[in-house]
Structure 1
Amino acid sequence: MTSSSYHLKDNPSGFPYKFFQTHIKDGFPDVIYHWHPELEIIFVEKGSARFHINYEIFNSQPGDLIFIQPTSMHSIHPIDQEEHISQTFKIHLDNLGRSTIEQFSQRYLQPLHNGHFELLSRIQPHMEGYQEIKNLVQAIFKLCHDQPLYYDILLKAKLHELLYLLYSKRYVVRHYTDDVYRKYEKLKDLIAYLNQHYMEPLTIDFLADYFGYSRAHFMTIFKQHTGSSCLDFLLQLRLSKACEALVQTDQSIAQITESIGFKNQANFNRQFKQRYQMTPLQYRKQFTDKD
């Protein structure tokens, strides 16, 4: 079960961020392919999980520093029943000056945000500058946790120092080719389409034709870049929407089943229990204390 302790401050400086711990246990949670506009920094404390970040796939190791740049597609999958504990910090680059129209932003922040520069996904203990970068990341995490007086001033300074280290150690140097950029923009369009139309009776043939692929090529590309088949992804997406509805609404199980695109109540119950090891009603009770 995900364990997240947020340290969010709507403070006068207007410097919002997210800081939380993620705990993968007993094969859950399984974070499906998605993206967001924030820079994400992850430190792996324990165990291993399978990360898909754009075209790269790797099994994390304790001590890994993982960087997910803004709008990069990524997923995090459990490895069998292995436990995985990590700390995560997320911030929008606008809060480091990206939205300011001046030379610093144009040279360093804009290319990192829009994908014209590629940020290395993983820095490991044997790599150059690891200890220096790790110490800085841990100092950032400690500031977020302790929040001493005027900590946001120091936090912003340390984030700029982190960017300096990533650039100076050559961990932000490569450029995406136009061909790679187009492929990932198209894949983003596909994932966005699934998020908007998951409740509809979608088929592989329809999706492949809609996005201009042959059926076989569509299935290969999707599996290669997301780590799951399109149908498995769609199932995970529907079940995650069901979880949201169970916790956030008073809809009946039958209403939720229909709203997320399942046509058969028994199939929904079976798929839900297989994934979460509990029934939908048990899930609702556990997270809302509803009878």
Structure 2
Amino acid sequence: MELEQLLRQLHEYSKVEEYLMNHREIRNNKRLIQEFVATLNEDEAKEQLVPILPHMGSDTMSHPETFPESYFFYENDPLKVRITQHTRYSTPVMHKHDFYEMFYVYEGEFEQYIDNKTYVMRTGDICLVPPGVYHSLDVNNYSIVLNILIQKDSFQEIFFQNLSGDHIFSNFLISNVYTKKIDSFIIFPTNGDLKVKNMILDMYLETINKQKYYVQVVHSNLLLLLSHLLRHYEDRSIMPKPQRKRDVIDFEIITSIEKNYKDITLEQLSDSIHYSTQHISLRIKQLTGESFTKFLLRKRMTVASDLLKHTNMKIQDIGPDVGYKNQENFIRSFRKFYQTTPSQFRKDHSNFKL
């Protein structure tokens, strides 16, 4: 698909959108919504998320839904970003999900309900919503809104590996990943920034055309987009609460572990952060619910499992790569953590034929 075709597709109304536009009485009417859903074919029902909306047709504001990552992302699919167009004139559904989502207003404006407030989103605005945050979109007009869904682990890896530092994402990430807060979000008013628009359209085309290296291109473009938002719109961004000094310190602690998990010790972490080992141990426990040792183990095992699933790296090389000098210790730790051996885990989950 070429860019011109994509733009034409974004502006064209689907069969479902035309029906909803001409039958406004359907919105928020339980009986009429149920009758409408019954007329959809399988593909249309899936696009409208009917399979994961058991309360479809009920009061969606009173019955929040949970959208599972497994519905949008497949375990063996290397692409961790999905882009879709939000259905115009559809009934708002109060929901949360276990992945990250960015809403981009390509054209127009709509109302978003989040953090017990209503925000008017206008052309160029981007809203980043993490897992576990209840929100709804009310696109009851012509507006073109793109939903950019990002698999949770991949999104967090981008931050920890590429965007660590003292900026607004520190509070955002710490709040969501490690503290169970449910009011976290960021809105970037980009005022129709052409570079932002082009980056998002390029990503959309890559996910559609799936040309050679499209996965790497999409993931790289996502990093470029996030970096661009930080560079140009951090000062104008909207968040529910201001950043605190402790959030920055917490972020430094977690980031240090995430980036140096192969050989970091509590004493080394203490020296680099300039806080006592007791204080750091307490902060890690409060943030993650785990001790330093258990949190470090979880990180190593997560990396090891990803290498087993998504690469053909030899098992004897994976142990040292995640911080184990002794192969027996690696296998013993892996078996205890996952209740299976690394070789069996690879047989059950691998994308590669060895």
TM-score when normalising by structure 1: 0.47
The structure having more radius of gyration, on CA atoms, is 2
For CA contacts below 8 A with separation 6 or more, give which structure has more relative contact order.
1
TM-score when normalising by structure 2: 0.39
